[in-house]
Structure 1
Amino acid sequence: KLWPGNKNISLSCYSSNVNGLNSPSKRKSLFNKLRKGKYSVIALQETHIDQNHTKYLENTQLGKVFVSADVQKKRGVALYIDCNIKAEEQFKDKEGRVIAARLDTEGGKTLVVNIYAPNGPKFKFIKGLKDNINKTEFDHLILFGDFNGVVDKMMDKTFKTKNSKAASSLPKNFLALMEEYDLVDAWREYNRDVKDYTFYSNRHQAWSRIDMIWCSRSILVKINKIQILARDLSDHCPLILEINRRYTTRKWRLDGNLIKQEEDIIKIKAMTKEYFKLNNTAGMKPQIVWDAYKAVARGFLIKLKAEKRKQKEALWNKLIKDIETKEKELKANPKNLKTKRGLELLVRQKKSWELD
């Protein structure tokens, strides 16, 4: 089905296997990062939150949460949907492997499913997933998650053994879902010849791309961005997907941080003194001078904030670039312990910055 007319849905999505969220400090760090991202849909796998403590996952700043949890502290999936989007839970399991919600927008009914597939046999899991999808009415489908298997063992893995196909490739009935629901592997569609990965196995010192986003082909042409991010809070790389993302400008407001630092206060005082020295002339109405000053001051503060943001972003971007470089080096040579230690130091530095 095509998206009806010009009434297109706009979504910014984030998906990640977080490898446990029972730690309050880890939850705080992750939630702060996600809040800043302003995502419409957030899909988290392996929350490890049991059925008695799902309240730990509630965060209204991230959106309305839909959860599937196990009785024990293992598995666990969660979906956050922006509170401005009408969303209803459609189905889930009792083992913390599947949660699905339907978004009702002007662009139609979009079923979003978050999965944490079993590491071993998947027949029962796939059958249950397929049966539930078949019972649900929708126009478009987005499947987020940790699939615990790769689509193409030659493109999606760095570790190859005689048994690699049995251990790591998705079974045919899983891949058959793509054809049945006209789904595509979003990242691979935009990176046909690229080898990149999302999960690093310390045990095997190997990389694989087992974290994916499959979506209806009708959505494919609407994608602005699909990207694998560097790891930070887990041994899995997060993914982001933007569909018809629209960026808006907000009304200017004074940033209180600009009047806290002594060096900034000195600059503002100097600008103010110079302005009134040049403009407080005889015959000029005080109100006109004052109104003009507010405009000049606003421009000065905007420029000052831009300079500070540019400096901060330069340091942040360098750190992210260094992490990405180290991660690429590790993907190319998974057994290099020096690279691994260097990457761990950079990631710790990034976590420290995020908590500040």
Structure 2
Amino acid sequence: MISDKAKAKIDLIKRDREGYYILLKGTLDNEEISLINIYAPNNIAPKFLMEKLGELKEEIDSKTILVGDLNQPLSNLDKSNQKINKKEVKEVNEILEKLELIDIWRKINRDKKEYTFFSAPHGTFTKIDHTLGHRNMAHKCRKAEIINAAFSDHKAIKIMISNGTWKTKSKTNWKLNNMILQNRLVREEIIETINNFIEENDNGETSFQTFWDAAKAVIRGKFISLSAYINKLGRAEINQLEMQIKKLESDQIKNPQQKTKLEILKIKGEINKIESDRTIDLINKTRSWYFEKTNKIDKVLVNLIKKRKEEKQINSIKDEKGDITSEEEEIKAIIINYF
């Protein structure tokens, strides 16, 4: 998934038949890049990686970033109990070295012990999700961190690549998020704000237009402050739960306990619940935006009607005996086909 804010052009898409990897080649913000996402099946990961990376070696160059669930630790530091198959690790690292791919997260974080996957049945932590980059690409990376990912038992790896061409954020006009009105406390606060404003400012001497403009500014400011407060509370709750998980995971690594394992799973469930509610809000917001935009289809319909009339004139010339529908029926047909 590529942000629509990025200027992206994809020149090549390549997949294997089984769907275990996808390769994208193109440009991001006018800079060449190759993105490879791989999933390596469990139990056969080392053999699979050597086979697939061999297939992709012609596509891997100095602009390549390879990410995914490789189901394979790359060093002793990538597993909490350090019981790894040294032969498999060596074989995988040998082919990565030939392709000049290095573990970006490990390059930046050196000897740090942090993991992306917690196996509840075994009670072990491993870093089997990796962000690999060509040596030339990896030198541009300034930051790499492991972050929690909702709806998944794997954590995500976030990297920051600096190429010195950061763009300033464009200013956007504030717009009310209608979904906030579903919050009872927000509705009560807004009603109270309106009542207080009217009581304090409706003196009969101010013109209606001035009174209305001032009221809109006050209400808008209240909405902005309430939205910021709600978002801050949500972030604080997530941050607190994530801090609890980190502490419990640290305790579990040092002294594995069934009680601690269950507590980790419980908190992850709470985080997923919060993220699920947030996702539903975003979906509803998107629906609201969609209906607002699709109400403004005048130009689209005019163009469709014009095109249909032109086609009808051509058809009527070819076949003078053909049935011609009324203009009203024609417009109805266009609208139905459009939606």
Per the normalisation by structure 1, the TM-score is 0.65
Please name the residue that 1:46 is paired with: none
In the TM superposition, residue 232 of structure 1 has moved relative to its aligned partner by: 5.2
Please name the residue that 2:212 is paired with: 290
The reply to whether residue 238 of structure 1 matches residue 159 of structure 2 is no
Please name the residue that 2:223 is paired with: 301
Are 2:104 and 2:138, in contact at CA under 8 Å, matched by a contact in 1? yes
Are 1:150 and 1:169, in contact at CA under 8 Å, matched by a contact in 2? no
Distance 1:40 1:242 in 2: 15
Distance 2:218 2:245 in 1: 40
Please name the residue that 2:34 is paired with: 111
The structure showing larger relative contact order (alpha-carbon pairs under 8 Å, at least 6 residues apart) is: 1
In the TM superposition, residue 303 of structure 1 has moved relative to its aligned partner by: 0.9
Are 2:7 and 2:28, in contact at CA under 8 Å, matched by a contact in 1? no
Structure 1, unpaired ranges of 5+:
1-38, 42-62, 64-81
Distance 2:219 2:142 in 1: 37
SS in 1 for 2:273: helix
The reply to whether residue 273 of structure 1 matches residue 273 of structure 2 is no
Structure 2, unpaired ranges of 5+:
278-339
Distance 2:122 2:242 in 1: 26
Alignment match of 1:348 (pick from 269, 272, 280): 269
Please name the residue that 1:212 is paired with: 130
How do 1:1-356 residues align onto structure 2 when only pairs under 5 Å count? 40=2, 85-117=8-40, 119-120=43-44, 122=46, 125-134=49-58, 136=59, 140-153=63-76, 155-161=77-83, 164-166=85-87, 168-177=89-98, 180-181=99-100, 183-202=101-120, 204-220=122-138, 222-223=140-141, 225-230=143-148, 233-244=151-162, 250-333=172-255, 335-356=256-277
Distance 2:94 2:61 in 1: 22
**Structure whose CA Rg is larger:** 2
Are 2:102 and 2:134, in contact at CA under 8 Å, matched by a contact in 1? yes
State how many pairs are aligned: 272
SS in 2 for 1:253: coil
Q: Which stretch has the larger CA shift, 88-97 or 210-219?
A: 88-97
Partner letter of residue 211 of structure 1?
D
The structure where strand makes up a greater share of residues is: 1
- C-alpha spacing 1:146/1:261, structure 2 compared with 1 (3 Å): closer
SS in 1 for 2:154: coil
SS in 2 for 1:355: helix
- C-alpha spacing 1:281/1:225, structure 2 compared with 1 (3 Å): farther
User: Which digits, 9 at most, give the CA deviation of each residue in 1:320-348, with x for residues without a partner?
Assistant: 22223222322333x31111011111122
- C-alpha spacing 1:249/1:291, structure 2 compared with 1 (3 Å): same
Q: Which stretch has the larger CA shift, 114-123 or 270-279?
A: 114-123
Are 1:230 and 1:327, in contact at CA under 8 Å, matched by a contact in 2? no
SS in 2 for 1:148: coil
The structure where helix makes up a greater share of residues is: 2
Partner letter of residue 40 of structure 1?
I
Partner letter of residue 145 of structure 1?
G
Distance 2:209 2:250 in 1: 60
Partner letter of residue 321 of structure 1?
M
RMSD: 3.2
Partner letter of residue 237 of structure 1?
K
Partner letter of residue 111 of structure 1?
S
Identity of aligned residues (%): 26
- C-alpha spacing 1:140/1:265, structure 2 compared with 1 (3 Å): same
SS in 1 for 2:74: coil
Partner letter of residue 222 of structure 2?
F
User: Which digits, 9 at most, give the CA deviation of each residue in 1:62-110, with x for residues without a partner?
Assistant: x9xxxxxxxxxxxxxxxxxx99622244433223332211132344321
Are 2:62 and 2:135, in contact at CA under 8 Å, matched by a contact in 1? no
SS in 2 for 1:96: coil
SS in 2 for 1:322: helix
Per the normalisation by structure 2, the TM-score is 0.68
In the TM superposition, residue 259 of structure 1 has moved relative to its aligned partner by: 3.1
Distance 2:121 2:179 in 1: 46
Partner letter of residue 175 of structure 1?
L
- C-alpha spacing 1:269/1:115, structure 2 compared with 1 (3 Å): closer
Are 1:159 and 1:206, in contact at CA under 8 Å, matched by a contact in 2? yes
Distance 1:190 1:355 in 2: 32
